[in-house]
């Protein structure tokens, strides 16, 4: 089964970073998610209750990052992956976090993790 629910380029403003000045400002993180999900049930029922609701996931991810205020992208990624598996029942996911302003000479920098099994 290779079905997924996707979120691409979710922009979240939060405190993040390891340097003192970064604890005094907010910066943008871009979130990409590919979450394994069997889409056959919502495909048959046309009922969002059967779906992995990408709007609900987006809201939860945003709230988590704004409360967490992590130092590292890696910490943010681990906490988000754990949350998505426990609260939404996602069995497998690929999560990419980008911090577009962090290295001025680069378009973006970031981390990617894969967690869980299909
Ligand atoms: N692998 C990582 N490297 C760095 C991170 C990070 O989150 N993961 N963060 C920083 C600083 O906060 C940086 O973004 C400030 O520009 C440096 N390296």
CB distance 73 to ligand 1 below 6 Å: yes
CA atoms within 13 A on the CB side of 107: 0
- The DSSP bridge partners found for residue 5 are 35
Q: Which two tokens stand for residue 20?
A: 């003192």
Q: What is the CATH number of the domain that holds 20?
A: 3.30.1130.10
- Residue-level pLDDT, tens digit, the chain, 118 residues: 699 999 999 999 999 999 999 999 999 999 999 999 999 999 999 999 999 999 999 999 999 999 999 999 999 999 999 999 999 999 999 999 999 989 999 999 999 999 998 6
Closest ligand 1 atom to residue 27 Cα is 14
The reply to whether the predicted model has a pTM over 0.90 is yes
Instruction: Give the integer Cα–Cα distance in Å for 110 and 29.
Output: 9
Domain count, the chain: 1
- The DSSP bridge partners found for residue 97 are 31, 111
Taking the centre of ligand 1 as the mean of its atom positions, its distance from the CA of residue 17, in whole angstroms, is 6
Mutate to test the pocket of ligand 1, among 109, 112, 113 (most ligand atoms within 8 A of CB): 109
Tell me whether 0.90 is exceeded by the ipTM. yes
86 is catalytic: no
Range of the domain at 85: 4-116
CB 88 within 8 A of CB 55: no
CB distance 17 to ligand 1 below 6 Å: yes
Instruction: Give the integer Cα–Cα distance in Å for 90 and 84.
Output: 6
pLDDT of amino acid 113: 98
Q: What is the per-residue pLDDT across 28-53, written as a single tens digit (0 to 9) for each? A: 999 999 999 999 999 999 999 999 99
């Amino acid at each position: 089964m290779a079905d997924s629910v996707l979120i691409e380029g979710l922009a979240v403003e939060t405190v993040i970073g390891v340097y003192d000045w970064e604890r005094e400002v907010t910066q943008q993180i871009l979130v990409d998610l590919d979450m394994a999900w069997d889409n056959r049930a919502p495909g048959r029922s046309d009922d969002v209750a059967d779906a992995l609701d990408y709007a609900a996931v987006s809201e939860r991810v945003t709230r988590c990052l704004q409360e967490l205020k992590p130092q590292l992208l890696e910490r943010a990624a681990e906490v988000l992956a754990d949350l998505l598996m426990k609260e939404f029942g996602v069995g497998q996911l690929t999560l990419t976090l980008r911090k577009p302003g962090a290295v001025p000479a680069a378009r973006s920098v970031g981390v990617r993790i894969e967690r869980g099994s299909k």
